[in-house]
Structure 1
Amino acid sequence: MRFMLAYDMMETMRNASAWFGATARTMGSFPATAMAPHPAFKMLAAWGEVTERSFGRMNTKPDWNIAPVAGVDQRDHIVEVETVVEKAFGDLIHFNVHGRRPMERRVLLVAPMSGHYATLLRSTVVSLLPDADVWITDWHNARDIPVSEGKFDVEDYTLYLVDFMKELGPDINVIAVCQPAPLTLAATALLAEQDPKAQPATLTLIGGPIDPDAAATDVTDFGRRVTMGQLEQSMIQRVGFMYKGVGRMVYPGLLQLSSFISMNAEKHGEAMWNQIVSVANGNASDHDKHNKFYDEYLSVMDMPAEFYLSTVERIFKGLEIAKNEFIVDGHMVDIGKITDVAVKTVEGGKDDISAPGQCVAALALLTGLSDDKKASYIEPEAGHYGIFAGGSWRKNIRPLVLDFIDANAGRKPHAKARKPALRAVESDPPDTAGDSGRVAV
């Protein structure tokens, strides 16, 4: 239990920082300060407001808050989030667009379990809803999962995906974003071998580390330098007594967040300072571009320790997917068994997390798949975040993915899919989002 103190100390520091921010905001906003209109009071209140909001968001799961979708019937259809399959470590949820007929395209988004909640893909969901029925994997915060529920590692993650695909049926089109790409490929191969009728129609892998050694990044270099013992000692802690998962070994979300921020510390610091100045000048708003992004970016979740460690050891160090040597529940998965599922890879030319070459390596593993069912695309100017949630995704990648789905379903490319519905468009997040999908380091 020696790591409980470290876990509770981090949460105490977060609480204290939020309190300091609230205190500064209150002191700087006293009505009496208006008698001495010194800019220091405004700056103190602004610093306090930004600090309180930033640290207060760090243990709060964001709401999906999906706006109504405009239909072909010229009506706005309310979107309700429904749980389809409920499991201990994650649910399969559906975005039910009320009053709309079932869509021909059915899409399952596989969200990363890499520090942020599935809501990180909110803009991806919003962009797809006008043209598809959408489901997503909604992973739970490990600190809220009792120890009695047992472990959750990369094999369990893969088996969860198998169950979700079986639930949705063979006409589902799977899109895996970043970290889950190799495990989604393995889950598809497992279905191809054990239950071919449950295979998805198409599989799109976006910016995932299928072969981390194909193109080195800071992430893969770090994974090579650090031993598993060092990772376990420095990154793993036990959940404190405040939470249902008391005693569970986790990679804490706050520790992950500090790692995320350190990769682009200068940009994040500049963004925070600019927001403080905007608040002081009265130019900020509750839902401005900065708050919209950082409310999501700063919301982090604990990752099960066994999932984190097995990801590093088996996917990054052991290269089990890249070598086609991945074992699930005692069974050796053969990616070459995929013969009917069309597979497309998408990479960003400026992706510094999963560099170009890591994801497209999946196609070489698909020895049983004909070339006409393989496709790849590189978005030259896109970073990691842009390939699934930014302007590059909306304008270029999304239409290509939908056309790929249609082509392999025997449908002609849908004209509507080539341009996102105006109601679905959201503003681009700050460029600091590039590290948001970071896994394990």
Structure 2
Amino acid sequence: MKFMFTYDLMETARNTNQWLGATARAFASYPAVAAVPHPMIGMMKAWGEVTERSFSRMVAKPSWDIPSVTAEDGRDHVVSVETVIDKAFGNLLHFKVSGRKPRDRRVLLVAPMSGHYATLLRKTVLSLLPDCEVFITDWKNARDIPVSAGKFDIEDYTLYCAEFIRHLGPDIHVIAVCQPAPLVLAATAYLAEEEPAAQPRTLTLIGGPIDPEANHTEVTDFGRSVTMGQLEQTMIQRVGFKYAGVGRLVYPGLLQLASFIAMNGATHAKAFTDQIFRVARGETSDQDRHNVFYDEYLAVMDMPAEFYLSTVERIFKGREVARNRFVVDGRQVDIGRITNVAVKIVEGEEDDISAPGQCLAALDLLTGLPDDMKAAHLEPGAGHYGIFAGSSWRNNIRPLVLRFIDANAKPQGKARRAKPSVVAAE
């Protein structure tokens, strides 16, 4: 399927559905049609509105839309999004709170490159801004990156993370959410060997597949059951002429979205059916629960083909990080070389993407790290999304992570070694 034709066919189908929704909404809004006393006119308009909005979301990057932050002076301070580093496949952003004294806690959120934009972590950013200086990795949509920019696989991703950490300095606290957990762990090990002074103070890994075989899910079963040839033939396509990345091999966002929805098809079908009826009754708004969730969920981005394929082959099939055999830039990194970076693992009891045990496997790889610098937390009843953006994150996990950061904020030394980790005892 490495053809522009299949890529453009999907975009054509999306564009057609968006047009059908817009047409139905416009037709049902004509005064003459609205004068017909029939309930199906209202249903047609509602269907058109929901359909148009749903399919138009799929090609638009959501806005960060960060509101002002109230500081200790009692005033609201405007938040601006600044680009600290601009690279071909991703940027390092800083959420600067204007006029506020910089916070001592400096946090780097490493967002996943798994089909959605970094804005998936918007609620995580909002929850951390009052107490931290927040930075985030903002990965770019592969369809917009010219072929001349070259490849981008998991080794490149790891080197990007290492560069961002090095740039922010050794007082940074890194939080990796989901997919980047094994690669950020490898990036830290890479720095431990190449530039020990550049390592972060702490590393928090949230629901990531360090060892996919530790506890199977549908995601890991899929990775084990298909061959790399099958994946390359069925999932990879070339970007069409509509975008700057024309000709680049990608795993298309629309194809990923189809897979996401298929995993819980009945749930999504009910959600959209209910929304159509709510629109027909006039009970919706731009900020209602359905729109807020699906504005983000349906906004998908293309992944570079080499990144997707190398993730499946080396993280899920080969388990290179889990076996401590991961190679970066021609050199094998040793996770056991991490000796002075406090590491915390966060997992959700009901996580059906990175099941409990997959992320916890990182602690066994950290053979050079003292036990009092290791911590783990299993959140009862929490699913995958809840452990970094839902109520479980806000009410339980976020306070634990901040306490962990504070307990390990001082540079490595005797005083720090003597001080027990607050979270390790939880």
Secondary structure, counterpart of 2:389 in structure 1:
coil
The amino acid that maps onto 1:161 is C
Structure 2: distance between partners of 1:207 and 1:7: 31
Deviation at 1:380, TM superposition (A): 1.1
In the other structure, the counterpart of 2:424 is none
In the other structure, the counterpart of 2:150 is 150
Secondary structure, counterpart of 2:377 in structure 1:
strand
In structure 1, list runs of 5 or more residues that go unmatched: 413-441
Secondary structure, counterpart of 1:135 in structure 2:
strand
In the other structure, the counterpart of 1:391 is 391
In structure 2, list runs of 5 or more residues that go unmatched: 411-415, 420-426
- 1:371-406 CA-partner distances (Å, limit 9, x unpaired): 000000000110000000000000000000000000
Secondary structure, counterpart of 1:96 in structure 2:
strand
The amino acid that maps onto 1:284 is T
Structure 2: distance between partners of 1:269 and 1:406: 44
In the other structure, the counterpart of 1:85 is 85
In the other structure, the counterpart of 1:167 is 167
In the other structure, the counterpart of 2:188 is 188
In the other structure, the counterpart of 1:337 is 337
Deviation at 1:26, TM superposition (A): 1.1
Give the structure-1-normalised TM-score: 0.92
In the other structure, the counterpart of 1:120 is 120
For 1:218-297, what aligned pairs fall within 5 Å after superposition? 218-297=218-297
Deviation at 1:179, TM superposition (A): 0.1
Structure 2: distance between partners of 1:317 and 1:274: 40
In the other structure, the counterpart of 1:362 is 362
% identity of equivalent residues: 72
Q: 1:312 to 1:251 in 2, by over 3 A?
A: same
Conservation of the 8 A alpha-carbon contact between 2:176 and 2:206: yes
Deviation at 1:2, TM superposition (A): 5.3
Structure 1: distance between partners of 2:279 and 2:11: 27
In the other structure, the counterpart of 2:179 is 179
In the other structure, the counterpart of 2:217 is 217
In the other structure, the counterpart of 1:45 is 45
In the other structure, the counterpart of 2:110 is 110
Secondary structure, counterpart of 1:59 in structure 2:
coil
In the other structure, the counterpart of 1:6 is 6
Q: RMSD of the alignment, in Å? A: 1.2
In the other structure, the counterpart of 1:349 is 349
The amino acid that maps onto 1:127 is S
Deviation at 1:38, TM superposition (A): 1.2
In the other structure, the counterpart of 1:380 is 380
For 1:410-429, what aligned pairs fall within 5 Å after superposition? 410=410
- 1:42-81 CA-partner distances (Å, limit 9, x unpaired): 0000000000000001000011000000101000010000
- 1:168-194 CA-partner distances (Å, limit 9, x unpaired): 000000000000000000000011111
Structure 1: distance between partners of 2:293 and 2:312: 28
Q: How many residues align?
A: 413
In the other structure, the counterpart of 2:309 is 309
The amino acid that maps onto 2:230 is Q
Deviation at 1:34, TM superposition (A): 3.4
Structure 1: distance between partners of 2:293 and 2:44: 23
Secondary structure, counterpart of 1:309 in structure 2:
helix
Give the structure-2-normalised TM-score: 0.96
Conservation of the 8 A alpha-carbon contact between 2:25 and 2:49: yes
Structure 2: distance between partners of 1:125 and 1:227: 37
Structure 1: distance between partners of 2:62 and 2:201: 31
Secondary structure, counterpart of 1:299 in structure 2:
coil
Structure 1: distance between partners of 2:205 and 2:21: 41
Structure 1: distance between partners of 2:134 and 2:289: 25
Deviation at 1:162, TM superposition (A): 0.6
Deviation at 1:285, TM superposition (A): 0.7
Deviation at 1:348, TM superposition (A): 0.2
Deviation at 1:28, TM superposition (A): 1.6
The amino acid that maps onto 2:69 is V
Conservation of the 8 A alpha-carbon contact between 2:2 and 2:249: no
Structure 2: distance between partners of 1:34 and 1:290: 26
The amino acid that maps onto 1:227 is T
In the other structure, the counterpart of 2:298 is 298
In the other structure, the counterpart of 2:422 is none
Secondary structure, counterpart of 1:130 in structure 2:
coil
- 1:330-352 CA-partner distances (Å, limit 9, x unpaired): 10000000000000000000000
Structure 2: distance between partners of 1:272 and 1:50: 8
Structure 2: distance between partners of 1:46 and 1:2: 38
Structure 1: distance between partners of 2:257 and 2:72: 42
The amino acid that maps onto 1:349 is E
Deviation at 1:37, TM superposition (A): 2.0
In the other structure, the counterpart of 1:205 is 205
The amino acid that maps onto 2:255 is L
In the other structure, the counterpart of 1:424 is none
Conservation of the 8 A alpha-carbon contact between 2:2 and 2:233: no
Conservation of the 8 A alpha-carbon contact between 2:170 and 2:197: yes
Secondary structure, counterpart of 2:160 in structure 1:
helix
Structure 2: distance between partners of 1:37 and 1:200: 66
The amino acid that maps onto 1:267 is T
Structure 2: distance between partners of 1:335 and 1:35: 70
Structure 2: distance between partners of 1:266 and 1:66: 33
The amino acid that maps onto 2:270 is E
Structure 2: distance between partners of 1:70 and 1:137: 25
Deviation at 1:32, TM superposition (A): 1.6
For 1:391-410, what aligned pairs fall within 5 Å after superposition? 391-410=391-410
The amino acid that maps onto 2:74 is Q
Q: Which segments of structure 1 move beyond 4 Å, counting only runs of 4 or more?
A: none
The amino acid that maps onto 1:313 is E
Structure 1: distance between partners of 2:69 and 2:274: 33
In the other structure, the counterpart of 1:28 is 28
- 1:236-269 CA-partner distances (Å, limit 9, x unpaired): 0000011110000000000000000011111111
